[in-house]
Structures are given as structure tokens and as C-alpha cells.
A and B are shown apart, each in its own frame.
Chain A
Amino acid sequence: MKPHLKPEEAVKLIPDGARLMIGGFMGVGSPHRLLEALAQSGKRNLTVIANDTARPGVDIGKLIRAGAVSKLVASHIGLNPETQKAMIAGQIEVELVPQGTLVERIRAGGYGLGGVLTKTGLGTIAAEGQQVVEIDGEKWLLAKPLKADFALIAADQADYSGNLQYQLTATNFNPIMALAAETVICEPREILPVGMISPDVVKTPGVVVDYLIERAA
């Protein structure tokens, strides 16, 4: 059986200054209870790699409001004015990355690739400081891999061995991040006996998941 923890216990594994990947898209498919516990834990100087920071005070927005984040790598912060304010005030260093490039950088990190070549961002300010690679006369932008200390992800169903399946648009970055971090902590909506999730619908094999978050009391 996979080790299982309460959210408050899981956040004790995460030190100040840790580098986190957090699943979700505007909070949809984010590990809600884990983020609540992390925001309350008083952690500092976290680096967060995520698509966005949701809305003020919601999911990753809780970490922003708590002052827990010093660096953010994301594609969109437009729906969270608190993140924008913290960025402009210099409290959070923000690296904005096109969404498709962000997910490919995470995928490259998890899949053991040295990077990805993309046309996205080429010739724009998003390409500043990045390497342009010419192959057979065609120009591409080199997007380098991203890795993290922890991936905090959410799933719809987990079984006792940590096999995961996702639901609808709550899938998003979660299965990609599950390969790109040293330690993977998943908060499933439901935990089932082994065998109740068909092997064909398992999207993340339990072998890459380190901890499951127990159901709410």
C-alpha cells in the first residue's frame, strides 16, 4: 500500500525554499486541501511551477496571499491581481512561459529529454535570453527542461497502490508533472482498493507516486 498522509503531515515533508510543481488550471484539478495546508504552514521562499495562480485566495492563490512564494514559473496570472501586484512590487520573481512551452518543458524534465524545439515565442519578447537553434535552415526556439523537488497533484481516483485516473478538464498538467519531480504527492478525490481501476484507464502508474493524501475526515 502506498504511504498515505493527512495534508498537514504531507506539508511537513516540504522545506522552505523547495521547488514545487503544482497541477491544476485556474484551480481545476489542483490539490485543494494540500494547498490549504501548505498556505497555513508558514513556508517561505517556495518556487512554484504551475500554469497559473488561480484567483485571489483560491488554491495556488492561497500560497501567493500567504507570502509563501518567491519565484513563479507560469503562463498566465491575469485572473489573480494579487500575483501581478506582488510581481510589480518585486516580492515575487515571475517567469512567464507560453502554456504549450511550459507543459513541454515539464514533459522534457520528466521524460529525460534535453529540451524541446518550438516555434512558439520565436521573435517575441518571450524568446529573450533563449537559444535559437537552426536545423535544415529552419529556426526553432530551444525550451529547456524543468524539474522540481515535489509535484503536488490531484486525481479523480487513486487505488491503494497509487495508480491514478483523472476526470475531464481536471487532468491538465497533473499527469505530466507526475514524472518531473523527485517526490510526488497526490490528493485524489476517491481512494479505491487495488483492481477497481482498470489498467487501461490508469493514466499515471502508481510506481511514480510517492504519497497519497488521505480522504477528508
Chain B
Amino acid sequence: MKPEEIIQRRVARELKPNSLVNLGIGLPTGVAKFIDEHANVLFESENGIVGLAAKPPEGMDDPDLTDAGGGTVSAVPGAATIDSAYSFGLIRGGHLDATVLGALEVDENGLLANWVVPGKMVPGMGGAMDLVTGARRVIVAMNHTAKGAPKIVPKCTLPLTSIRRISLIVTDLAVIEPTDDGLVLRERAPGVTIEQIVAATSAKLIIPDDVPEMDLGVAA
């Protein structure tokens, strides 16, 4: 199984039936593929749609029905469209059950940096700061390392997205939960050892006696 599929399948199992979820552009978008269609997980996008669905076949798309990356999408029966003020009311007001997004760094305090590399990459925060501040659960979905360098670090060196602690980190190697005491290693990816995870992490990890393999719902 490809690393990103491990992440997407594991994140999918975090999303509860009948919940409202925002998936970030890129790797998080792919989480939707692994949601049971009967679970009635409703996806929203901050550009103003509750109930977005996968891109329709070529030639069947509508330029006025898009996701937050500007790409065309379709919608589920029962979808609703809203303006930007209402959209961020949903996000900041505690009505969004979960947001899944990528990270540049996450640190021992569970703080996230994912929007700027000063002097190099200044895309702007878009909706990320509102999502991380306002969603009930914030799930980071990312590769454990970037070009071999750990992304889970003692303290973020890049500017923070929010001072709010995130809820869960899901990577191609591990599931890690930020807590009051620090980062707790909850699960290992199939075939991955605790030693491999520790070696790929520069932050201190709290390691319980039992660290089971991730349940991906299928054989890896």
C-alpha cells in the first residue's frame, strides 16, 4: 500500500457517521475515497458548499461548482450552498465536526505550522487558521518526514497556524495523539516498528506498553 493510502485509510476511520468534515486540498482530499457511502459523512468546503462530492466525468462539470482549490466538483443529494460569511460561521462557530489538513511541522505541544515558510513560500493562510481554531477536531494527515527530515519536532520553527492544540496526527508510520503530557504514540503502520517511528521523529514521544498496528479495514 502506498504511504498516502495508509494515511487516507486511517484518517477515514476517524470520521464519524453523520458528521460534517472539511478536507484540505491535496492528500486530505483523498480521504473521501475511503469513507463508507452509508456512513453519511458530509463534506464541506470553505468556498461555500455543504455536501460536496467527487469531480464529475469530463464535460459534466459546472464552473460554478468548485472546491477550495478552484477545481470542479459535484454534490450529494441534499447539498446546500452558502456564502463566505456563513461558511466561516460554520467553521468558527463549532458546527464543523472535523477538519483534516496537512502540516509543515507539528510540535510536542501539539501546535501546528502549515501555512508559510518565511522568505520562501508565502501563499497565505486561506482558511487554515479559521479551520484549526474553530473545528471540533483537527486531524493532521501528512507524511511522517519530508525528504528524510522529521516533521514532528520539539518546537515549531515555522510560524504557527493557531495556538490551539490539534487533536490527532496520522502519518504513513504512526498515529500520534497530542495530550497534556505530550505526544503519545497510539498506533504503528503495518510492519513499522516503534524504533523506526522514534528514529523518524525529533519530538519526544510517550510510548505506552501497547502500541498496536493501525486498523486500515483491509490487509496492507
Contact = CB atoms under 8 A, between A and B. Distances in A.
Q: Do A and B come from one complex?
A: yes
A133 interface: no
B161 interface: yes
A77 B47 contact: no
Best-buried of A52, A120, A176 by chain B (most CB within 10 Å): A120
Interface secondary structure of B, over-half rule: loop
B130 interface: yes
B164 to A, nearest CB: 8
Interface string A14-54: 00000000000111110000000000000000000001101
Interface string B152-180: 00000001111110000000000000000
A172 B129 contact: no
Contacts of A96: 122, 124-125
Nearest to B131: A100
B124 A75 contact: yes
Contact of A168 (B49, B84, B125): B49
B125 A119 contact: no
Nearest to A79: B70
Interface in A101-142: 101, 103-104, 107, 118-126
A169 B126 contact: no
Interface residues of A, number: 48
Contact of B124 (A29, A74, A173): A74
A10 interface: no
Interface string B97-126: 000000000000000000010000111111
B9 to A, nearest CB: 28
B109 to A, nearest CB: 12
A204 B88 CA distance: 19
B182 interface: no
Contacts of B64: 28-29, 156, 167-170
Contact of B130 (A27, A55, A74, A98): A98
A120 B81 CA distance: 23
Interface residues of B, number: 41
Given A99-B84, A118-B92, A124-B159, A172 B47 contact: yes
A4 interface: no
Interface in B11-54: 45-49
B123 A87 contact: no
A176 B83 CA distance: 8
A162 interface: no
Nearest to B63: A28
B159 to A, nearest CB: 5
A7 interface: no
B85 interface: yes
Nearest to A101: B130
Given A103-B85, A169-B65, A172-B83, A98 B159 contact: no
Interface of A: 25-29, 51-52, 54-55, 74-79, 84, 87-88, 96, 98-101, 103-104, 107, 118-126, 156, 166-176, 203
Please list the 6 inter-chain residue pairs (A to B) with the smallest Cβ-Cβ separation, ordered nearest first.
A78-B123, A26-B70, A100-B88, A100-B130, A123-B163, A76-B126
Interface of B: 45-49, 62-66, 68-70, 81-85, 87-88, 91-92, 116, 121-130, 133-134, 159-164
